[in-house]
Amino acid sequence: MRTCSDIQRDLSRYVDDDLPPDEQAAIAQHLASCEVCRGIEADLRQIRARARTLGPVPPPGHLWSNIADRLRTENVGARSPVQNPFRSSKLEVRSWPMSLSRGSWAWLGPAATLVVITLGAYVVPSLSRRAPAAATPDNATPAVSVQDVADELDQALAHYERAVAGLETIARADGASMDPAVSAALQTNLTAIDRAIAESRTALIDQPQSASARASLTDVLRQKVDVLQTTVALVNDLRREHEDDAAEAAKKLGKQS
């Protein structure tokens, strides 16, 4: 019997119609009777729809090589107006550990949820699906520049950064804090993941056509999503009796915005 947590883990892929037919059907059946999961599904669809209004991202065959060029340029310190399409990982590298070290990381759940959606519903599927196409550089598709991809991701990320900022405000107002040991463990592991992301990126710079470097980068990004998703799922399961508190906090946010 699949629990709501299980269903929610697969919702992104469900929305993307990316699951085997039997799993699609099982989730559809669950959604028919579960208002909470149905609500999250609706949110996911909304967010995906928003992301798509930012413009289509056809898979250019030369994408990986171009990305590698861009990364190489960044690494030698040249400031470019074009942002790196992997900026999503940079966002996390920069903001999460800092926030954790401040000890006010109870917004981890909501922030993780948002990052999960950003990565899981937008970036990671793009990477995982489009990466193989890059192995055949001659499968010419309408030219879409790295600039286009980067701009779209930047806009999407900006959207979520604003949302995360709002939730941080709530967390601070509530004086929320988490067990230091768990906080430290998460911080250590997120740092380890970020290190792995950096290694994979460097490998991709050195060998843009390397299937293993591409696979590694995608895997590690996905693992980061999984970690955040696991964290959210665990804490989410404990939230039930605190719905009233949550509603009060939501009211506060409504007044602030």
Partner 1 sequence: MTRMDRTRWIRLTTAIVTAAALAGVATAATAQDRNYPALRTDRQTRTLALGATGSLDLSNVSGDITVTAGPGTSVVVDVTRESRGRTEADAAQGLQDVQVAIDTQGDHATVETRYPKNQHSQSPYRVSTIYHVTAPAGTRVKATSVSGNVSVSHVKGDLEVQVVSGDVTVSDAARLTNARTISGTVRLSDVTSDAALSVSAVSGNVTLERVKAARVSADVVSGDVRANDVTCGSATVKSLSGTVDYTGPLTRGGRYELTSHSGNVTFTAVGPVGFALDALTFSGSIQPVGSLTLTSQMARRGSLLGTVGDGGATVAIRTFSGDARIARR
- Is 188 a binding residue for partner 1 by CB under 8 A? The answer is yes
Q: What is the DSSP letter of 175?
A: T
With tokens 């709002």, the residue in question is 166
Each residue 132-171 as x (binds partner 1 by CB under 8 A) or -, in order, gives: -----------------------------------x--xx
Nearer to partner 1, 74 or 105 (CB): 105
Each residue 5-34 as x (binds partner 1 by CB under 8 A) or -, in order, gives: xx----------------------------
* Burial readout 32-60 (b: 16 or more C-beta within 10 A, e: otherwise): eebeebeebbeebeebbeebeebeebebb
User: How many chain residues touch partner 1 (CB under 8 A)?
Assistant: 74
CB 147 → partner 1: shortest distance, Å? 28
DSSP string, 91-110: HHHHHHHHHHHTT--TTHHH
Q: What is the DSSP letter of 209?
A: T
Tell me which amino acid residue 158 is: A
CB 79 → partner 1: shortest distance, Å? 29
Nearer to partner 1, 17 or 243 (CB): 243
Positive or negative, the Cα torsion across 230, 234, 235, 240?
positive
Nearer to partner 1, 5 or 95 (CB): 5
Instruction: In whole angstroms, give the CA distance from residue 216 to residue 204.
Output: 9
- Is 131 a binding residue for partner 1 by CB under 8 A? The answer is no
Q: Which of residues 197-256 bind partner 1 (CB under 8 A)?
A: 199-200, 203, 207, 210-213, 215-216, 219-220, 223, 226-227, 230-239, 241-243, 245-247, 249-250, 253-254
CB 35 → partner 1: shortest distance, Å? 10
- Contact status, residue 124 vs residue 225, Cβ threshold 8 Å: yes
Among 46, 101, 209, 256, binds partner 1 (CB under 8 A): 46
Give 72's contacts (C-beta < 8 A, 6+ positions apart).
205
Instruction: In whole angstroms, give the CA distance from residue 233 to residue 35.
Output: 17
CB 20 → partner 1: shortest distance, Å? 11
CB 138 → partner 1: shortest distance, Å? 21
Binding segment (CB under 8 A) for partner 1, from list 73-81, 92-100, 136-144, 187-195:
187-195
Nearer to partner 1, 95 or 230 (CB): 230
Among 84, 92, 96, 110, binds partner 1 (CB under 8 A): 110
Give 146's contacts (C-beta < 8 A, 6+ positions apart).
63, 66, 67, 70, 82, 85
